Amino acid sequence: MSEIFKNNISQHITLSEEELAEFYGLFQKKTIKKKQFLLQEGEICKFEGFVIKGLFKTYHIDSEGIEQILNFATENWWITDIDSFTHEKPSQLNIEALEDSEILLISKSDKEFAYQNLPKIEKLFRVMTQKTHVALQRRMIDNLSKTADKRYTDFIEKYPQLYQRLTNVQIAAYLGISHEFVSRIRKKIVNKK
């Protein structure tokens, strides 16, 4: 069993070794190469995933062909298109590996099986969903109320290891600003030192 998976679950709920082994057994391990898609727009998302190794981006291409990154997922993070997964409808999103990655995937039917046979799992996903809602709410408030400079500095302070693994273009697409603007902000920060 993956130690990182075991530690992630224990941050949210307490499972016996048997319950944990049964839950872990519902996942399929998959290796994804850099630039390979886990999900493409138009497909139905048939998984929730837990990243063991690597880095993913979830994004949408707008009507003008501009990439808008909703989120990143690195080791110890969960990833899915919750709308497509829940409602079994075509995704509006792409999930792409930014590095060679390993991920554990659980299907909707196996997740439902866990809810029925391992009642604590429902609590696990409820707690994680609440944390996700809080993070999304904070991000929306930040995007509406903070300057691009402040959003950038907050991002690098909150995610220093992630920041080092991303390009200016990727950070800009996440923050909703141009990569030229990110370059200017970086230069300003370097000049202040």
What are the residues whose beta carbons fall under 8 Å from the beta carbon of 82, sequence distance 6 or more?
A: none
- Residue 114 and residue 99: Cα distance in Å, rounded? 30
User: Binning pLDDT at 50, 70 and 90, where does residue 59 land?
Assistant: very high
Rounded average pLDDT over 177-187: 84
Residue 145 burial class via C-beta count within 10 angstroms: exposed 0-12, middle 13-18, buried 19 and up: exposed
Tokens 């707008």 belong to 62
All domains in the chain, ordered by first residue: 3-108 (2.60.120.10)
Output the CA–CA distances (angstroms, integers) from residue 22 to 17, 18, 66, 108, 135, in the order listed. 9, 6, 42, 16, 30
Q: Is the pLDDT of residue 124 over 80?
A: yes
Give the H/E segment covering residue 132.
helix 120-145
Q: What is the chain's alpha carbon radius of gyration, rounded to the nearest angstrom?
A: 18
- Residue 48 and residue 168: Cα distance in Å, rounded? 28
Mean pLDDT of the chain: 94
- Cβ neighbour number for residue 39 with a 10 Å cutoff: 23
pLDDT of residue 193: 64
Rounded average pLDDT over 23-42: 98
Output the CA–CA distances (angstroms, integers) from residue 76 to 56, 72, 115, in the order listed. 12, 12, 22
Summarised one tens digit per residue, pLDDT across range 136-168 is 999 999 999 999 889 998 998 999 889 889 998
User: Binning pLDDT at 50, 70 and 90, where does residue 128 land?
Assistant: very high
Q: Is the pLDDT of residue 76 over 70?
A: yes
Tokens 């929730």 belong to 48
pTM passes above 0.75: yes
Q: Is the pLDDT of residue 79 over 70?
A: yes
Q: Is the pLDDT of residue 22 over 90?
A: yes
pLDDT of residue 20: 96
